Structure 1
């Protein structure tokens, strides 16, 4: 039996497909019980295991998840994301040596448009890869490693330094002194140190002994692969829809540019200060509204009720029942988001009840298992949007099939979006 927690009802879906509804259940309060109450993930999440071992995301039991999370949580903390000089240097290269020159070339074309979803996916792949420590790899090479697995890491595929490749996937004990400049293998190092500490303190008694300590190489590779895949696709989806909406509103583009110019002078290769960028109200509203209406993971996030059962909002739910909340239904609650099906960034600027809206905002989940990379994701999306719209205007060339697919990750149905870029300097 499964239970879906929406914004005002519980749907009980029986195996025989009969359904009934329990009315007057507050979805947010029920959600808090489920996702902050340590309910274990359902076995469904095992589909996200890599190389035969769980990553943090696919770990089912809450205590094991907490141990894995503690190994890398500092890497994604907001303070580190915003203050890291290495991350800033990597972002500068990606923005001004890769993305911006490409867009300038695209803007020079007299006809046609630029397919931006693949462009955004490649950019976010570069950004998450740089954070993890794969900054020297080409996009094609990273894709090869992802498809082939951790044991197929040849030194002749474009990796800037074979030591970097061996070290990231922990397939060698070779020294790291000769790694490529700018390489910052923070996730790998954090995982390696965390596993060593767990082995030293807990040894064979550790709940991670079989899945992590005894399978160290595969466990680290599984974690890195999960973060690379999740870290680039979700942000790429949001950037696609944000640019689509902005392209329909030249006036909003102009307002955004006006907000950005004090931090990023047009035409100058200056990466904005992360904290100041984070404090820009219109930019934040655009990102929040896009995440609300186009959550990249809009569907159920299943958990299992503990035995013998749980009382949730006055209803007893037996143990072992699959139960889930959905960002999609929470984000379309008309009682919270007026005209919820309409993309309206102003709701995040003008609403008198911001606290209620934020309680219903669930793009990153909630509780101890919420998205560990949310701070990094917000920062990279704001950076990409700011660099683009301070330098370019965009218009839609072809948005056929822009509707989101009904899947775990919700890309556009056509898996593409064509925009026309024009340099701001050419329109003044």
Structure 2
């Protein structure tokens, strides 16, 4: 009797398990009506984990949406969405929370930053601390940005291209683009004297980039299964090699040392913003001041090795911001130069536009004292139509953050892409890689065509801008987009005012897979000729 009851109970439990794990998700769940990416996707996450582990996610999802439509089921509790109304607009401006993807991948020093914060109120409060210093009005008018931009272009970057043009030597510009993007950003973040000098110090540049990108093959485990990786490491099975953690620690140590220098500078020279704008750590100082205001703390002079309030929180934000800046802007510039180098006539047309600046950015400068060089109004550079279209089209065709940006549906549920009753807690995402390839919005989407932004009708332009997602959207839109645009436009303007470029070696220029992604071959070799 007892045995029969036990067997009956086990049978019932087995049937319940089959129902819960297979029958309900595959046939009865509200998600069952959504086209599935794979036969197993309705009841298992193995397939979606496979495409992430194999690093083929972006193109796989793009092809699936072309085949199955604007919404695809990737797993029992996950959807990919590829439309604006009922998709991008609903998810990213409708208050959907982030997932642990961001916390797992982008936390620094064990401390969350604005990018990793899942709670909307917490994220908004942190973002507001820096929103003004990153605003377009402030960036274009900033004395620090003006001085640092001139210095980095005239004293660091352009002399390299001038020397190459004079000797006929070709240059691999890809890592140099990372260097320019990092130096440009960190000079606004920390000032010229404290920020990086990767353009001229190629050994430090390669040390940083080798450590930063060397960890990428293991990013799947860090992002998707950190607990499993940590558990296995405790029993001696290191899915993630120990040197990956060592690289992270080395990068964090380098970053926080720069923060500490900035703190000492500000605590000993509080008037540096007005007396020496080129060395003013503007972004660091802004967040520091906001924390001082909220905490009511008057920080004293900091000695080397001495902690100060909010040290790790500020450092985590600063690290996140410059890591994003150097990678995304560096990749974008590489693709700008690649596309322009294939089109001598377009280079000439762009140069004609650039020479209308008053004054144009001519190199070499007439004086050795760069501080006396007159630069064009940043607003005038920003408003050049062909320059803007060139950058805009590169951000579309070669979007630097092509991968899915994950959110969680709200507890009350929602409707997506024409499907109602989507339950709460479902992992959902859009990806710019696919959004930017919609032929109904961007005809011939795989072609790089700056003229699409110049000759579109008002309605066409509005539609393209709705689908354009290089900077994200909503409350989590890239905070640094205005500075990145300024930095990249000035690099393009300075180079193509003074030089022509042609391709020597573009093998591997096709875009890699990943949340962020540059050329597979990690190179672009160009020849420069002075005009």
**Which TM class, normalised by the smaller chain length?**
0.7 to 0.9
Mapping for residues 184-333 of structure 1, pairs under 5 Å: 184-199=280-295, 216-263=310-357, 264=360, 266-267=362-363, 269=365, 270-314=374-418, 315-333=420-438
Distance 1:172 1:260 in 2: 38
Partner of 2:151: 93
Partner of residue 148 from structure 1, selected from 250, 272, 278: 250
Partner of residue 50 from structure 1, selected from 108, 128, 141: 108
Partner of 2:124: 66
* CA deviation map 1:185-224 (0-9, x unaligned): 22222222222333359xxxxxxxxxxxx97111100000
TM-score (norm 2): 0.69
Partner of 1:11: 72
Partner of 2:304: none
Partner of residue 180 from structure 2, selected from 111, 123, 127: 123
Secondary structure class of the residue paired with 1:56? coil
Cα–Cα, structure 1 residues 194 and 86, in superposed 2: closer, same or farther, change >3 Å?
same
Checking the alignment, whether the CA contact within 8 Å between 1:402 and 1:413 is kept in structure 2 is: yes
Question: Which consecutive unaligned segments of at least 5 residues does structure 2 have?
Answer: 1-41, 49-60, 209-246, 298-307, 366-373
Question: Which consecutive unaligned segments of at least 5 residues does structure 1 have?
Answer: 156-163, 202-213
Partner of 2:512: 405
Partner of residue 183 from structure 1, selected from 274, 279, 282: 279
Q: Structure 1 residue 410: deviation in Å? A: 0.9
Cα–Cα, structure 1 residues 227 and 146, in superposed 2: closer, same or farther, change >3 Å?
farther
Checking the alignment, whether the CA contact within 8 Å between 1:28 and 1:359 is kept in structure 2 is: no
- 52-61 or 303-312, larger mean C-alpha shift: 303-312
- 71-80 or 260-269, larger mean C-alpha shift: 260-269
Cα–Cα, structure 1 residues 395 and 316, in superposed 2: closer, same or farther, change >3 Å?
same
Q: Structure 1 residue 319: deviation in Å? A: 1.1
Q: Structure 1 residue 257: deviation in Å? A: 0.2
Distance 1:268 1:316 in 2: 64
Secondary structure class of the residue paired with 1:76? coil
* CA deviation map 1:307-345 (0-9, x unaligned): 132233442221111111111111100001111110011
Partner of residue 385 from structure 1, selected from 472, 492, 496: 492
* CA deviation map 1:351-388 (0-9, x unaligned): 11111111110000000110001111111111000000
Mapping for residues 73-92 of structure 1, pairs under 5 Å: 73-92=131-150
The structure number with the bigger radius of gyration is 2
Cα–Cα, structure 1 residues 152 and 14, in superposed 2: closer, same or farther, change >3 Å?
closer
Distance 2:184 2:461 in 1: 31
Q: RMSD of aligned C-alpha atoms?
A: 3.0
Checking the alignment, whether the CA contact within 8 Å between 2:144 and 2:282 is kept in structure 1 is: no
Distance 1:305 1:189 in 2: 37
Checking the alignment, whether the CA contact within 8 Å between 1:167 and 1:174 is kept in structure 2 is: no
Partner of 2:170: 113
Checking the alignment, whether the CA contact within 8 Å between 1:257 and 1:390 is kept in structure 2 is: yes
Checking the alignment, whether the CA contact within 8 Å between 2:361 and 2:376 is kept in structure 1 is: no
Checking the alignment, whether the CA contact within 8 Å between 1:146 and 1:225 is kept in structure 2 is: no
Distance 2:265 2:185 in 1: 23
Checking the alignment, whether the CA contact within 8 Å between 1:133 and 1:187 is kept in structure 2 is: yes
Partner of residue 41 from structure 1, selected from 98, 102, 105: 98
Partner of residue 349 from structure 1, selected from 449, 454, 459: 454
TM-score (norm 1): 0.85
Secondary structure class of the residue paired with 1:395? strand
Checking the alignment, whether the CA contact within 8 Å between 1:121 and 1:232 is kept in structure 2 is: yes
Cα–Cα, structure 1 residues 287 and 28, in superposed 2: closer, same or farther, change >3 Å?
farther
Cα–Cα, structure 1 residues 38 and 165, in superposed 2: closer, same or farther, change >3 Å?
closer
Q: Considering fraction of residues, name the structure with more helix.
A: 2
Distance 1:146 1:44 in 2: 18
Distance 1:280 1:125 in 2: 24
Checking the alignment, whether the CA contact within 8 Å between 2:347 and 2:496 is kept in structure 1 is: yes
Checking the alignment, whether the CA contact within 8 Å between 1:399 and 1:417 is kept in structure 2 is: yes
Distance 2:75 2:161 in 1: 51
Distance 2:259 2:122 in 1: 28
Q: Structure 1 residue 171: deviation in Å? A: 7.8
